[in-house]
Amino acid sequence: MWRKTMKEKLKAIMDAALKQIEEAADSETLNDARVSFLGKKGELTQVLKSLKDVAPEDRPKVGQLVNEAREILEKKLEERKREFEKKMLDLKLATETIDVTLPAKKPMIGHRHPNTIALDEVKKIFIGMGYQVVDGPEIEYDYYNFEALNIPANHPAKDEQDTFYINDKLLLRTQTSSVQVHVMEKQKPPIRIIAPGRVFRSDEVDATHSPSFHQVEGLVIDKNVTFADLKGTLAEFARRIFGEDTKVKFRPHHFPFTEPSAEMDVSCFKCGGKGCRFCKNEGWIEILGCGMVHPHVLEMRGIDPKEYQGFAFGMGLERIALLKYEVDDMRLLYENDVRFLRQF
Ligand SMILES: [Zn+2]
């Protein structure tokens, strides 16, 4: 008798539960149905709790019935839950369509500074001619920056490039020529190097001056090196960096550490030498200083000038970059304005 009542009671609960699950319109009402039948105080849970009042011999059978009922409800709840999830996903896919024709968001990628581009090109040319690229200290002894380069304490050349002194003996180097001395100290000829790097002068900032800029120094020491080697090397460099038709011209000049010394001009690559605004109607543009290494500079390093000769050259890297990219204000290279830098 009891069993029958229990069965009927269970059936009534199941009918109501299945109806409510079936009619649930969304996951929220579905959850309400779950709570009201399977929750802590749910109807089916209550039945399970009342098992203690059932006669011991009937308990297993009733327990089994209740568990079967719970399994059916759980399965049905899961089915409907999946149904709602699929509906949500379909809706999401329908509303969040992707327009594949829209341009993608490109990540911002930086690139080399025009100075670096110019330097890489200079390096490439000289490495191709068998030169080594060497580095030297930016904080330098007065000795390496001046004296060892044939510029004694009272030499007028020292005034021209008065620099930032750290103390009586240390300064920020005014020229990469100091690297020549370090190389000659460490290395026996043959020597064939370029030394790019930052140099400092106590100059005011304007369109062509800066207290900090870059030079590329070159040094060759070997047997039977003549001024013809210097000319050939630098003419080839000029052609590679400014174009095949570039001509070069050497004007006598004075540098304390070379003898004879010269300044090298290249034919204006804008007008081909006819004269234009770019070359200030000269047809020529000054590029670098050069000369045969002064015998005294070699002697100071213990190199016999009768056995070995050499040539050296030095150029301003910014000047090369400005000319190459036809920029007329050096300050643009340092201001780091991305609108300017993006153009390279
Ligand atoms: Zn010109």
Using the mean position of ligand 1's atoms as its centre, give its distance from the Cα of residue 277 in Å: 6
Ligand 1: centre distance to CA 332 (Å): 22
Distance 322 CA to ligand 1 centre (A): 14
CATH no. for 114-342: 3.30.930.10
Question: Is 78 labelled a binding residue?
Answer: no
Which residues are registered as beta bridge partners of 220? 192, 311
What confidence tens digit (pLDDT) does each residue in 166-210 have? 888 899 999 898 998 999 999 999 999 999 999 998 888 888 788
Could you read off the pLDDT of 58-108 as tens digits, one per residue? 888 888 888 888 899 999 999 999 999 999 999 888 888 888 888 888 888
| pLDDT on residue 123 | 96
pLDDT tens by residue, 277-305:
888 899 999 999 999 999 999 999 899 99
Residue 283 Cα to ligand 1 midpoint, Å, equals 5
Can you give the pTM of this predicted structure?
Answer: 0.67
Q: How far is the CA of 269 from the centre of ligand 1 (A)?
A: 7
**Cα–ligand 1 centroid distance for 318 (angstroms):** 19
40 CA from centroid of ligand 1 (Å) = 93
Any idea which fold 1-96 has? Methane Monooxygenase Hydroxylase; Chain G, domain 1 (1.20.58)
Pick the closest to residue 142 from 134, 129, 151 (CA basis). 151
How does pLDDT run across 106-136, given as a tens digit for each residue?
888 888 999 999 999 999 999 999 999 999 9
Domain boundaries along the sequence of the chain: 1-96, 114-342
For ligand 1, the distance from its centroid to the CA atom of residue 41, given in whole angstroms, is 96
